[in-house]
A = this chain, B = another copy of it.
Amino acid sequence: MTPPTPLHLSLAGQAVDVLREQVLTGEIPAGSRVNEVEVAHKLGISRGPLREAIRHLASEGLLTLVPHRGAFVPGADPGDVKALFELRTALECAAAELAASRRTDVDLVRLHEVCAESRRNYRSGQPFPYRLDLAFHQALITAARSPHIAEQVRLVQQRVVLLRSALEDDPPHQHASMDDHDELVKAVEDGDAARASTVMRRHLSRVCAQMLTSLNH
């Protein structure tokens, strides 16, 4: 059924997926080094494709390259966290504004859906899975309909996930986040771009502060 379609991704592409997963889940812990021959052998490929995969992940900020030394999983530096959240705030506030002026009905349905699932999860007493938080922000940038902003948001959120994996998971303040999310959906629903941006900024500033305190134990 896929005769001409190269169903099999290139080896480099596959390696990117596998490595990204391992880095984001902390399977390859922060600070550790990626040995080319070792990993290539483990993946059953040669060093060429693996190198391309490593460079790709480095361009996404998931690895840091040191000439003649190799690739390392970056750790969490408080100063860098603040700078990263400045970028995230710039991107997601803009996304919130655009979403407020461009959202369709299906976007709103999706946003309400995610919020409802969060509430359900909260009442069940279970810990707040980051999955739901990501789903919310994902739904928002979808509503913004700005492909370049969406791509950058994806990259930044990925780096935030990496930072979180380096933290001993403090359960996120689900209640505060849920309230922020609800308020955001309301602003987007009303088409109030300015309010959406303001709420997003407050939300992210709260999340950032929380991560910084987690960093100092």
Contact = CB atoms under 8 A, between A and B. Distances in A.
A91 interface: yes
A146 B68 contact: no
How many copies of this chain are found per oligomer? 2
Nearest to A91: B90
A148 interface: yes
Contacts of A149: 83, 86-87, 90
Given A48-B48, A67-B6, A68-B6, A86 B98 contact: yes
A55 interface: yes
A56 B57 CA distance: 11
Contacts of A59: 56, 59
A99 to B, nearest CB: 12
Interface residues of A, number: 26
A138 to B, nearest CB: 17
Interface in A65-115: 67-68, 83-84, 86-87, 89-91, 93-95, 98
25 contacts: A10-B67, A51-B52, A52-B52, A52-B55, A55-B55, A55-B56, A59-B59, A83-B146, A83-B147, A83-B148, A83-B149, A84-B148, A86-B146, A86-B148, A86-B149, A87-B146, A87-B148, A87-B149, A87-B152, A89-B94, A90-B90, A90-B93, A90-B95, A90-B149, A93-B94
